[in-house]
Amino acid sequence: MLIDIHTHLVNRNFNVNNCKANFAIKIFLKKLKYTCYESYVNNLIFFINESKLDKAVLVAIENSEICANNEQVLSICKKHPEFLFGVNLNPFDRDIDLKIKNAHKDRAVLVKILPSFQNIDLSHKRCIPFFELLKEYNLPLLVHTGKEYTIKTNNQHLNDPALLESAAKMGVKIICAHCGTRKFLHEKSYFKNWTQLALKYENVYGDLGAMITPVQIFDLKKIIKNPDLKAKVLFATDYPAFPFYFPMKKSINSIIDTYSFFENLGFDDTIYKNAERLLAL
């Protein structure tokens, strides 16, 4: 099964006209000719069906004006077989055990955490019971790593992959979104911290979401050159993100553009097989 491990849905109440959303969101939605929630869903389904992919994981973000929350994402996943449910949870919630149990019942395939936005230090020992639950339910953890551009916060250091060392040691299946990379040269890169973690722990991976940019292309080439790293990445678009690299030809379908680019660069089937294995599909 060919899967996009990381896509997003706009919030059902998102209003493009009076939103204070940042530049990136505006560009993404302009490219999609965004009009409303329903058209967004239908467009994404059309792109998946037109591509060679079978399914995409829709990742929820709670308490965001821009991204759809768990309830909205779950309802779309129940209606459309093209989507798999990526639930957003907070390890510090008192009823986290019940929430994981319910997410598992709702057929969530992974748990997403955006540390800087949720203000979660994943190296804190209070996260240990949460990691135990992830292992019990065989749920991988998808963590945003590197600077967050869409949902702005001040705690960017929380997105450092190095903070995942104790979870990695415990054997939690971890996918570091964007492999800890940066989009602009003047910013801090966590790519090296991701490579160290991915090379040290069998259960640590990275996703290639939103990495087709002039700066990140150098990190993509470093991954390709190292067979051990190349074996540790998964296909992802981070839709509605699309390739932002001028030398490449672009179509309207950013999913096809993204995998065509990766395949031309030298990535093989492993990027899909890893996802299938990690999600236990």
CA distance 47 to 56: 11
Task: Tell me how far, at minimum, the Cβ of 236 lies from Zn ion, in Å.
Answer: 8
Q: Which is nearer to Zn ion, 160 or 238 (CB)?
A: 238
User: Which residue lies nearer to Zn ion by CB, 136 or 184?
Assistant: 184
The CB-of-129 to Zn ion minimum distance in angstroms stands at 26
Judged by CB, which is closer to Zn ion: 58, or 133? 58
| Residues 64/68/69/72 CA torsion (nearest 10 deg) | 150
CB of 72 to Zn ion, least distance (A): 16
C-beta of 255: minimal distance to Zn ion in Å? 14
Q: Which C-beta is closer to Zn ion: that of 67 or that of 204?
A: 67
Q: Residue 189 gets which letter from DSSP?
A: P
**φ, ψ dihedrals at 259, nearest 5°:** -70, -30
Long-range contacts of 268-274 (CB under 8 A, 24+ apart): 270/230, 270/231, 270/233, 271/208, 271/233, 271/234, 271/235, 272/1, 272/2, 272/3, 272/234, 272/235, 274/205, 274/231, 274/232, 274/233, 274/234
- b/e sequence 267-280, b meaning 16+ C-beta within 10 Å: beeebbebbeebbe
How near is the Cβ of 68 to Zn ion at its closest, in Å? 12
Residues at the contact surface with Zn ion, assessed by CB under 5 A = 238
Q: Pick the closer one to Zn ion by CB: 119 or 129.
A: 119
Smallest separation, CB 7 to Zn ion (Å):
8
7 phi, psi to nearest 5 deg: -135, 160
Nearest residue to Zn ion on Cβ basis: 238
User: Judged by CB, which is closer to Zn ion: 211, or 223?
Assistant: 211
SS3 246: coil
Output the six-digit token pair for 158: 């929380």
